[in-house]
Structure 1
Amino acid sequence: MATRTLCQVFQRRYASAAAAARPPVAEVRSQRNAVFSREQARQRALYPRIEKIEVSVRGPGLDGMLLIMNRGMSTPLSCARHLTEHHVTNSALALVDGELWPLHQPLTQSCSLTLLTFKDSDPTLVNQAYWRSCAALLGQVLETAFKDDYTVELLSTPEVPVTLGAFCCDVALDPQLDSWTPSEESLRSLTRGAQQLIHQDLIWEPLEVAPSVALEVFSHSRFKQEEVEQKAAQSPKGTVMLYRCGDHVLLSGGPLVARTGLCSQYEVTALHSLGQGPWGLRRRAQGLSLPLQLQAHHTVWRKLRQRAEKLVEVPRPEVATPPSPPALPDSTSDQPVTTSV
């Protein structure tokens, strides 16, 4: 017990020292953006000449439509612009040769394309991407909510099914805020921050990169560096996916929807304490949202919100238990802190 307590004290002191050494948030964001833009330009330069590809569009009333697009430049959204305004405004994600594909990710070869919306007969994939995007938006708000007065370390964004009722983002706040309990006004302030980003209708720009690039992007976050290595090890191609929204660069475990403007009703509902961890006191921020195409009456929304206030218990991945070896015969016997939010 004494050893565990000593380890926790050491971890908190380390987290405090690391936080104190971190540059201002604006400087960190500027550095991340610079690396993102440099790598994006490098990848675009891989296609110096305009080469044409054929994109076969699938969907209601679209089967048989063939578009001639530009390799390495055209995106699923570029294709949507050759269709109707409905496809441009309602598409959230795409399937390219059966693979989930962000709407702003360039196409690299001739392919089949299906545009996905929230009103498809089976919107499961879009809903999951939307939930993931809402959690990414929450992390973006949290990172700057406390200005430079207190540090914020964005931790993991748990992949949770929509049926759990709330998306979530884990975070470690400055150790000075360990005794702080957010008020309803603090949660409303976070909600306003998210709604401002939604109103700006910012795009989520995808960029698939080598781990070395992602490690440079997150050079100020040891947690994110470890997460980069984990995701790269799990990726068949050994790469990781970054996204940029405004001046915020994030690491994602799956595709995000096209833009923040696809969110409509959005509310930050809770900030739960999960206990001490290697990076300090771990908290789980939670929220609730519905996309632009799906609206809820205020009485329904109130019930959904009440559910979203409860702590989301993230299911642990099941670990296969190896079979036991056959038994051998036995021969002998059978206080609140004021913040900027």
Structure 2
Amino acid sequence: MACRTACQLLQRRLASSAASVRLSAAEVRGRRSAVFSREQARQRSLYPRTEKIEVTLQIPGLQGTLLVMNKGLSTPHSCARHLTEWYVTSSALALVDGKPWSLHQPLTQSCSLSLLTFKDTDPLLVNQAYWRSCAALLGQVLQDAFKEDFSVELLSLPEVLVTSGAFCCDVVLDPQLDAWNPSEESLRSLTRGAQQLIHRDLPWEPLEVAPPVALEVFSHSRCKQKEVEEKSAQSPKGTVILYRCGDHVLLSGGPLVARTGLCSQYEVTAIHPLGEGKWGLHRRAQGLSLPLQQQAHHTVWRKLRSRAEKLVEVPTGSTNEAISDTLTLPSAPEQTPPHTPQQ
């Protein structure tokens, strides 16, 4: 209770400070990344001496292989680098003692380790992380797409079924854009932005933090401060997970894949208005993607894209499912939205 009260006091103080100083989008990103770096350095300083841990591989063909790694510094990605290049480039997620674990999250004790790829017999966890990561990438693109004159507030990354046909990112744009309907060229421009981030092959760096740190990171976003409170209240440890990609910091409800370069075919398919909400006009941006290890023929991709244009309804408490090879692909008519304002 005391921690919650302290967080509420900090939240009000940060909100008051944010209201008095209007920063540009680039300045906000820079401040968020700086707080992330400071906390990351603090956590690493908790391991001043090099302590060794034993990591037992649970990988076909390497079952029981023992790696001696550095506590608090080594990650599953570090372990993959002791194997072959295939594990470095193909691994998307890890299991540490049976629990989903980001490839770049440090290991803090001796454990068992599995490296997961999109070619595994049961790709459920990898598909969940991939869909979540594609939505995170879409949110980053939206925040970078508009001129400094227009504010962009990311609301959430809804957890939707992979079989729903599209990943989603809810957003509120500047009130000046309330009448804006994105054209096909606007969607293509957003797609190009995503492809540029994919080409840079940026890692998603995870960081588990206490609520006061997360509130400081998102001191210029009342919406994100509210989300920090909700996620920390739902967490058994009372913490939240932040991820950084380049200088973009986000909240995530679960692990992301290792890097943007694991995405291959990627397209922003639609931005739907959802109506007025607490923060303004809510919109749902949607997209479609396949990972590097899976490709679709252009005729199949067109069918998938048509389906991904339709508004995805987000049921409360939904969870992801594995990609199915027997999806029914309903067709959707091509739409030509009105012209977009200059971005």
| TM-score (normalizing by structure 1) | 0.88
Cα RMSD between the aligned structures? 1.5
Identical residues among aligned pairs (%) = 80
Provide Cα deviations, 1:272-297, integer angstroms capped at 9, x if missing partner: 00000111100000000000000000
- Letter of the structure 2 residue corresponding to residue 279 of structure 1: W
Name 1:220's counterpart in structure 2.
Answer: 220
Superposition map of 1:245-264 within 5 A: 245-264=245-264
- Letter of the structure 1 residue corresponding to residue 81 of structure 2: R
Secondary structure of 1:306's partner?
helix
Distance 1:21 1:181, change over 3 A: farther
Name 2:4's counterpart in structure 1.
Answer: none
Whether 1:76 and 2:83 are equivalent positions in the alignment is: no
Q: CA deviation at 1:64?
A: 1.6
**C-alpha distance in 2 between matches for 1:211 and 1:19:** 20
Q: CA deviation at 1:23?
A: 1.1
Instruction: Flag the structure with larger Rg.
Output: 1
Secondary structure of 1:273's partner?
strand
Secondary structure of 2:171's partner?
strand
Distance 1:22 1:340, change over 3 A: farther
Q: Is the 8 A contact 2:180 2:341 kept in 1?
A: no
Q: Is the 8 A contact 1:191 1:266 kept in 2?
A: yes
User: Tell me, which stretches of 5 or more residues in structure 1 are unaligned?
Assistant: 1-17, 319-334
Name 2:90's counterpart in structure 1.
Answer: 90
Q: Is the 8 A contact 1:19 1:174 kept in 2?
A: no
Secondary structure of 2:156's partner?
coil
Q: Is the 8 A contact 2:262 2:291 kept in 1?
A: yes
Q: Is the 8 A contact 1:19 1:151 kept in 2?
A: no
Q: Is the 8 A contact 2:165 2:308 kept in 1?
A: yes
Secondary structure of 1:294's partner?
coil
Whether 1:23 and 2:17 are equivalent positions in the alignment is: no
Q: Is the 8 A contact 1:168 1:287 kept in 2?
A: yes
Provide Cα deviations, 1:83-111, integer angstroms capped at 9, x if missing partner: 11111000000000011100000000000
Provide Cα deviations, 1:137-181, integer angstroms capped at 9, x if missing partner: 000000011120211110011000101000000000011111111
- Letter of the structure 2 residue corresponding to residue 42 of structure 1: R
Q: Is the 8 A contact 2:183 2:339 kept in 1?
A: no
Secondary structure of 1:155's partner?
strand
**C-alpha distance in 1 between matches for 2:149 and 2:301:** 34
Q: Is the 8 A contact 1:145 1:340 kept in 2?
A: no
Name 1:7's counterpart in structure 2.
Answer: none
Whether 1:144 and 2:140 are equivalent positions in the alignment is: no
**C-alpha distance in 2 between matches for 1:55 and 1:83:** 13
- Letter of the structure 2 residue corresponding to residue 193 of structure 1: G
**C-alpha distance in 2 between matches for 1:50 and 1:294:** 40
Distance 1:300 1:338, change over 3 A: closer
**C-alpha distance in 2 between matches for 1:317 and 1:207:** 24
**C-alpha distance in 1 between matches for 2:22 and 2:116:** 41
**C-alpha distance in 2 between matches for 1:340 and 1:115:** 44
Q: CA deviation at 1:317?
A: 3.5
Whether 1:283 and 2:283 are equivalent positions in the alignment is: yes
Whether 1:121 and 2:129 are equivalent positions in the alignment is: no
Whether 1:231 and 2:219 are equivalent positions in the alignment is: no
- Letter of the structure 2 residue corresponding to residue 298 of structure 1: H
Superposition map of 1:155-304 within 5 A: 155-304=155-304
Q: Is the 8 A contact 1:52 1:70 kept in 2?
A: yes
- Letter of the structure 1 residue corresponding to residue 279 of structure 2: W
Provide Cα deviations, 1:113-143, integer angstroms capped at 9, x if missing partner: 0000001000000001000000000000000
- Letter of the structure 2 residue corresponding to residue 144 of structure 1: D
Superposition map of 1:322-337 within 5 A: none
**C-alpha distance in 2 between matches for 1:149 and 1:311:** 28
**C-alpha distance in 1 between matches for 2:290 and 2:76:** 23
Distance 1:19 1:190, change over 3 A: farther
Distance 1:267 1:224, change over 3 A: same
Name 2:101's counterpart in structure 1.
Answer: 101
Aligned length in residues: 308
Name 1:133's counterpart in structure 2.
Answer: 133
Q: Is the 8 A contact 1:179 1:336 kept in 2?
A: no
Q: Is the 8 A contact 1:92 1:116 kept in 2?
A: yes
User: Tell me, which stretches of 5 or more residues in structure 2 are unaligned?
Assistant: 1-17, 319-336
Name 1:313's counterpart in structure 2.
Answer: 313
Q: What stretches of structure 1 move > 2 A for 4+ residues in a row? A: 18-22, 335-341
**C-alpha distance in 2 between matches for 1:19 and 1:219:** 10
